[in-house]
Structure 1
Amino acid sequence: MLDSLMTPQVGGEAIKLAASVGGALLVAKLAVRWALDRYKKEKLWDREVTALTDVLLAIGELRAINSEWLRELETGVHSGEAADAARETRWRIAKAKLDAVASLAAMILPKRAQNDIILLSAALRSEGKEWSTRLKDTDKALTIINDKLLEHGKKHLRGD
């Protein structure tokens, strides 16, 4: 009975069937690998955008508070102890947020963005300077790093 199945015609059909199944498995494996790679890239992209957004939001809050202090310094109009305390609290919260997201950003953002965040953290720790000089230096550092990170984000969103 088996001898009748082993004809050249049946053998050729078996080879065609095996080749079709093998080809289908290869295509399926390649398609799954491509889909998983794409999914991983998109997840990483989402995480990078989220980290960059969190950093920029923290920088924005720090810039706003620093600008309020600069405005008071330049105009000579003091808003009072309660406002100072509230601003100081907001500053500490925003700085803590920046420090927290900087750790995550260090893991997933490109090296250039990581370096910018490190430079900003160092600039924000500068002490021993006169208050007005510190405010101006902080404003300059926040503005420069904010602009650099925005540019990085724009390039990243475009896929450059």
Structure 2
Amino acid sequence: MRESVPFILGVLLTTAAASIIGLFLTPDASQTWDILKLSVQGIGALVFARLGVVWAVEKFKSEKRWERDANTFSEALAALREMNRANDILWDDETGARSRSEQSLKDVGERWRVAKKQFEAAAARSVFLPKEISSIILQLEADLANQPTHDSWADSIEHEGKLILDALQTLERKIHLL
């Protein structure tokens, strides 16, 4: 379709130009027919031009929307992965599986906070994503914001880790919806 529109427009415009030249070179009784033919060709060219512009604008809008949706989705996934990595490090330290320095733990905590801010920003933009995806992201954001009070830091880390991992796995399965 894309290649045929310029060709059709070219044929119509060439025929119209030939008709105009013919009007001035051979004036006779068939001028009325030529003027009518020229008018129809002009109107046809305008209709095809309009259709071509509408098609191009719609294609541009759909591509931009897809880019925006893909960007939002990838930012949400990247933030969740970073939160999950930071949470795993904190969990390993808390359970004694691997001990880290205080500065290292502060850095990991900061990484988690930055990733959470990025996730919250992506969650705000996720309302434009398909319902199945946006509902998961918005639910996780609500769950992280409204966590119950836990008895220990380990319970809090475990709870956040489970929420993040479940949402991450579910979102990765839903990528085909974009």
Residues 49 and 153, structure 1, Cα contact 8 Å, conserved in 2: no
1:64-92 CA-partner distances (Å, limit 9, x unpaired): 01111222233354313212211111111
Q: What runs of 5+ residues in structure 2 fail to find an aligned partner?
A: 1-26
Identity among equivalent pairs (%): 25
TM-score for both structures, normalised by structure 1: 0.84
Report the residue type matching 1:114 in the other structure.
Answer: S
Indicate whether 1:114 and 2:126 are aligned: no
Higher relative contact order (CA 8 A, sep 6+): 1
Q: How far apart, in 2, do the equivalents of 1:52 and 1:100 lie? A: 11
- Corresponding residue for residue 153 of structure 1: 175
Report the residue type matching 2:137 in the other structure.
Answer: I
Q: What runs of 5+ residues in structure 1 fail to find an aligned partner?
A: none
Q: How far apart, in 2, do the equivalents of 1:70 and 1:48 lie? A: 32
Which stretch has the larger CA shift, 119-128 or 38-47? 119-128
Q: How far apart, in 2, do the equivalents of 1:46 and 1:140 lie? A: 30
1:25-47 CA-partner distances (Å, limit 9, x unpaired): 10110011001100000001001
TM-score for both structures, normalised by structure 2: 0.76
Which stretch has the larger CA shift, 38-47 or 110-119? 110-119
SS at match of 1:128: coil
Q: How far apart, in 2, do the equivalents of 1:6 and 1:129 lie? A: 96
In structure 2, relative to structure 1, the CA distance for the partners of 1:127 and 1:84 (3 Å cut) is farther
Residues 59 and 98, structure 1, Cα contact 8 Å, conserved in 2: yes
Indicate whether 1:129 and 2:129 are aligned: no
Indicate whether 1:38 and 2:59 are aligned: yes
CA RMSD of the aligned region, Å?
1.8
Q: How far apart, in 2, do the equivalents of 1:28 and 1:76 lie? A: 68
For these two proteins, the number of residue pairs brought into alignment is: 150
Give 1:17's match in structure 2, choosing from 24, 29, 38: 38
